[in-house]
């Protein structure tokens, strides 16, 4: 009996260690293949990356209604979609927050915000908060640029939209635009990772 108990404790310890390692390392790295998802859009329809047959890739943005940083970037996210959706890189926005903690991010609030701002991109809810941990997103906004390949959707850039969240007119480096432009031109992305600036995702 003691041997069985010892074995059980050892198994539990190893399992917890493995889980803690996964959590710490968590999320995609540059070059990883991002798995697809099926999330509800503000129009009630389920959206997956596989729905976009003609896409060359995706600008996946974890964002929300209630974070001042996310709000400051809304117009820039919309501008990204208007510039790149027609070139094969649409914006896919995902709201990752726990709506019990942040009711201002619930589906009705998302619908109202999208209507008020005239979003032209899908605004999806990460119900159950299953997708953002897969990506490793920690902030709103947090961007993952994916390139569609035969191997799957490869992560090519992770981080911030640009280098100035306070003032769009004072931006010196447009990280996401530079990365998408490089992919469209068949060139290497110079800056593949930056630190996302924003509010922590609420769990």
Q: What pLDDT digit, counting tens, does each position of 187-200 carry?
A: 999 999 999 999 99
**Domains parsed from the chain with CATH numbers:** 28-200 (3.40.30.10)
Tokens at 58, concatenated: 């995706």
**Sign of the CA dihedral running 127, 128, 129, 134:** negative
Q: Are 55 and 89 in contact (CB under 8 A)?
A: yes
SS3 call for 157: strand
Cβ count near 106 (within 10 Å): 16
- Comparing 8 with 91, which gets the higher pLDDT? 91
Q: Binning pLDDT at 50, 70 and 90, where does residue 26 land?
A: confident
Kindly state the DSSP code that residue 163 receives in the 8-state scheme.
S
SS3 call for 162: coil
Q: Are 42 and 110 in contact (CB under 8 A)?
A: yes
Residue 95 has pLDDT above 90, yes or no: yes
Instruction: Determine the Cα–Cα distance for residues 130 and 6; give it in Å rounded to an integer.
Output: 33
Calculate what percentage of the chain has a pLDDT beyond 70: 88
pLDDT digits (tens, 9 = 90+) for 36-91: 999 999 999 999 999 999 999 999 999 999 999 999 999 999 999 999 999 999 99
Q: Binning pLDDT at 50, 70 and 90, where does residue 184 land?
A: very high
Instruction: Determine the Cα–Cα distance for residues 125 and 113; give it in Å rounded to an integer.
Output: 13
CA distances from 145 to 11, 28, 33, 95, 172 (A): 38, 11, 11, 16, 20
Nearest to 92 by CA among 129, 130, 132: 132
What average pLDDT is seen over the chain? 90
Residue 15 has pLDDT above 80, yes or no: no
Q: Which residues are registered as beta bridge partners of 34?
A: 153
Residue 18 has pLDDT above 80, yes or no: no
Residue 104 has pLDDT above 70, yes or no: yes
């Amino acid at each position: 009996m003691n041997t069985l108990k010892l074995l059980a404790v050892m198994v539990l310890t190893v399992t917890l260690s493995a889980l803690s390692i996964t959590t710490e390392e968590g999320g995609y790295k540059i070059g990883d293949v991002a798995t697809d998802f099926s999330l509800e859009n503000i129009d009630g329809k389920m959206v997956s990356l596989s729905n976009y047959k003609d896409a060359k890739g995706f600008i996946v943005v974890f964002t929300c209604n209630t974070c001042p940083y996310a709000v400051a970037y809304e117009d820039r996210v919309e501008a990204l979609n208007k510039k790149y959706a027609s070139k094969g890189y649409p914006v896919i926005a995902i709201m990752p927050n726990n709506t019990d903690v942040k009711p201002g991010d619930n589906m009705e609030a998302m619908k109202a915000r999208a209507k008020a701002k005239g979003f032209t991109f899908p605004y999806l809810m990460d119900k159950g908060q299953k997708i953002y941990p897969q990506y490793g997103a920690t902030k709103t906004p947090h961007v993952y640029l994916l390139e569609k390949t035969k191997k799957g959707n490869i992560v090519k850039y992770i981080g911030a939209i640009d280098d100035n969240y306070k003032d769009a007119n004072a931006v010196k480096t447009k990280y996401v635009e530079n990365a998408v432009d490089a992919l469209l031109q068949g060139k290497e992305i110079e800056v593949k990772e930056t630190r996302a600036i924003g509010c922590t995702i609420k769990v």
